[in-house]
Amino acid sequence: MDNTNNFILQEVINDLVDSKTSLISPLMKLNYFGRLIKNQELIDFTSKEIKGYSSRDDFPEYRMASQRLIANVRGFMIEQDMEVPISMLEEPFDIGLQKMYVFDGIETIEKMAKEMLEDRSKNEIYRPIPMEMLPPIQTVIEKIVRTNSKIYIQHAKTVSNSHIFLEIQSHIRTKLLELVMEIGEKFGYNILIESFKLNSLENNQIINNIMNTTINNSGDGNILNTGDNNNISNSSKIIKNDVESLKTELRKYDIEEQDIIEIAEIVQEENLDENNNLGEKSRNWILKILDKSMQGIGKISTAVSANLLATAIKGYYGIEF
């Protein structure tokens, strides 16, 4: 930035299009811009993304991910982990455990994403369930487990896909770029602050309207899907056991042909597990594609997400969502 007399949007754009630049930089610059023009909505949004969210009030849906409930049970001559249907829990647990909320600031999210990419064993996030929540889970277990002996729950945890840390970054980077480009088209890419303030009320309302159509309009509310503002949808037309239909779907995302051939070979030799989860090779392939997307390698669509790729691959196995 030159000084308090003008704000250069191009510097923010340069940060956003460089996938190696931390999101803290464009967020801080836009927070500074919000303070210069006294736009509280822009200040609040950037501050929360920088420092993290303190509550679920006005919590953005792109920071939520679906999660599963796993309980460790023990009985006569048996001890094992089992998945418990969250929908069978009594209120408010049936709703409260459906989603994982990522409250952390952007630097922590970037750190978690980096650790996940460096260590493939960190593909999932585990969060322990407090002891006081075990009794209602025990009730559900007694309904779904048929045995002559008593089974007791020892402990439980929720499990979420750690790809959400990549997805949050991708969402914020894409939406911020859209926001800044819209502001630039309206006010120019070198905004004169004093000139802006001459009609501050109207100009800030214009920026708020732009934010409502870019930042706040997050699509279908599932960060592991693509949202309704992108060109890619989750309604794939993949035929069970048809490799060519899978390849056709993946080509829509601009994934490189050699990577498409690789996953085509993987799905023909690797099966889903008993819980319809993807095998290790398929999961590693998804990680590789997301890593390429984050680094700007190739022409992979920015709308590509972990869930989108997993849905496409599971479509080959005949699993519909």
Across 19-33, average pLDDT: 95
Q: Quick one: which of 255, 257, 252 has its CA closest to 238?
A: 252
8 A C-beta contact, residue 105 and residue 51: yes
Other Cβ atoms within 10 Å of 242 Cβ, number: 12
Q: Quick one: which of 161, 156, 180, 301 has its CA closest to 233?
A: 301
The amino acid that residue 154 corresponds to is Q
Write down the pLDDT at residue 19: 84
Residue 235 has pLDDT above 80, yes or no: no
Q: How confident is the model at residue 223 (pLDDT cuts 50, 70, 90)?
A: very low
**3-class secondary structure, 152:** strand
Other Cβ atoms within 10 Å of 295 Cβ, number: 11
Q: Beta strands of the chain (E only): which ranges?
A: 6-8, 64-75, 78-84, 99-101, 124-128, 152-161, 190-192
Write down the pLDDT at residue 228: 35
Residue 180 has pLDDT above 90, yes or no: yes
8 A C-beta contact, residue 295 and residue 20: yes
According to DSSP, residue 3 is labeled B
Residue bearing the bigger pLDDT, 24 or 217:
24
Chain segment 120-161, per-residue pLDDT in tens? 777 888 999 988 889 999 988 888 877 777 888 899 999 999
Chain segment 100-115, per-residue pLDDT in tens? 999 999 999 999 999 8
Residue reference for tokens 């972990």: 306
CA–CA separation, 216 and 56 (whole Å): 15
Q: How many residues make up the chain in this entry? A: 321
Contacts of 157 (CB under 8 A, 6+ apart): 69, 70, 126, 127, 128, 129
Write down the pLDDT at residue 133: 85
Write down the pLDDT at residue 157: 94
Residue reference for tokens 């949050």: 168
So where are the chain's domains?
Answer: 61-165, 243-316
Residue bearing the bigger pLDDT, 4 or 61:
61
Across 219-246, average pLDDT: 55
CA dihedral 260, 266, 271, 277 (to 10 degrees): -60
Asked which of 161-165, 184-188, 270-274, 295-299 is least confident by mean pLDDT, the reply is: 295-299
8 A C-beta contact, residue 223 and residue 167: yes
As a whole-number percent, the residues of the chain with pLDDT over 90 amount to 43
